């Protein structure tokens, strides 16, 4: 069964450093998303991406964040200058155009630890 | 931002019995509701969904009920199995926005005892 994959599974970085989290969505999916879950809190929407453009972004997704689809398979989230409060589990998701975009398939997540 | 709320952090049921997980929402613009299941060290897995034009949707052992007037939905699992033990998230979206943004509840940890 096709699945969303994410790398790395765990990333440790120092405050102020740039990180890039990588995702490979399901191959025929055209809608891509990033969510995060701070320990003990809700899963929060960060951004949705379609047709090489951001469709919607949350208040969390400020100028420190960016997304890119550098080739036909990868979808990346970059945090330019990490803060302690960026420590969280980051989930990538994708959905296919034939169903509602809400029915999203999630990857296993990348745990980001900022020290 | 408490647009989607799951007031029970945990639920414990005996194998074979019914599990009922509840979710409340406040935004009347929500028109699509989903349940996701999450095991430790994995991402959320889509379980079942319901459109606001329906009041019930069934898929095998899983049934979701929607009460729009009460802004309440529930997930019924019958019969419950030990493999159902996981965190269950309710999520909602505004379909007309067409961006796929999901608003999640806090989750309910279900434990099914053998």
For A104, phi then psi, to 5°, come to -100, 145
User: Taking CB atoms and an 8 Å limit, are A56 and B106 in contact across chains?
Assistant: no
The answer on pLDDT for A36 being more than 90 is yes
Q: What is the pLDDT of residue A79?
A: 97
* pLDDT for B94: 86
Residues of B in contact with A44 (CB under 8 A): 104
CB contact under 8 A, B43 and A93: yes
Candidates B45, B89, B100; nearest CB to A33? B100
| Alpha carbon distance B57, B35 (integer Å) | 12
Interchain contact, A102 vs B100, CB within 8 Å: yes
Nearest CA in chain A to B37: A106
pLDDT value at position A100?
Answer: 67
Distance between alpha carbon B83 and the CA centroid of its chain, in Å? 17
List all residues 6 or more positions away from B87 whose beta carbon is below 8 Å from its beta carbon.
B37, B38, B39, B107, B108, B109, B110
Residue B48 phi/psi, 5° resolution? Answer: -160, 155
pLDDT in tens, chain B (114 residues): 579 999 999 999 999 999 999 999 999 999 999 999 999 888 999 999 999 999 999 999 999 999 999 999 999 999 999 999 999 999 999 876 677 899 999 999 999 999
d(CA B94, CA B97): 6
Question: Which among A45, A95, A107 has CB closest to B43?
Answer: A107
CA distance B74 to B63: 8
- pLDDT tens digits along A45-61: 999 999 899 999 999 99
Mean pLDDT over residues A8-33, rounded?
Answer: 95
DSSP code string of chain B: --SEE---SEEEEETTS-EEEEEEE--TT--EEEEEEE-TTS--EEEEEEETT-SEEEETTEEEEEETTTTEEEEEESS--GGG-EEEEEEEE-GGG-S---EE---EEEEEE-
Put simply, the answer to whether B49 touches A95 (Cβ < 8 Å) is no
pLDDT at A73: 86
User: Tell me, what's the pLDDT at B100?
Assistant: 83
Q: Which residues of A touch B46 (CB under 8 A)?
A: 103-105
């Amino acid at each position: 069964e096709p699945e969303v994959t994410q790398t790395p599974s765990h990333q440790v970085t120092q405050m102020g450093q740039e990180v890039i989290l990588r995702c490979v969505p399901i191959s025929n999916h055209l809608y891509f998303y990033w969510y995060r879950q701070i320990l003990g809190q809700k899963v929060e929407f960060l951004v949705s991406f379609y047709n090489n453009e951001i469709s919607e972004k949350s208040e969390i997704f400020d100028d420190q964040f960016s997304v890119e689809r550098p080739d036909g398979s990868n979808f990346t989230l970059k945090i330019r200058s990490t803060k302690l409060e960026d420590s969280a589990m980051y989930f990538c998701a994708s959905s296919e155009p034939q169903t509602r975009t809400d029915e999203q398939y999630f990857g296993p997540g990348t745990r980001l630890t900022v020290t | 931002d408490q647009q989607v709320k799951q007031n029970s952090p945990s639920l414990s049921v005996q194998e074979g019995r019914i599990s009922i997980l509840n979710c409340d929402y406040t935004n009347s613009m929500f028109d699509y509701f989903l349940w996701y299941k999450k095991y430790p060290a994995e991402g959320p897995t889509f379980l079942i969904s319901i459109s606001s034009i329906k009041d019930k949707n069934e898929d095998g052992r899983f049934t979701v009920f929607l009460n729009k007037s009460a802004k309440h939905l529930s997930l019924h699992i019958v019969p419950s199995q030990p493999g159902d033990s996981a965190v269950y998230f309710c999520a909602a979206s505004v379909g007309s926005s067409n961006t796929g943004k999901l608003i999640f509840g806090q989750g309910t940890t279900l434990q099914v005892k053998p």
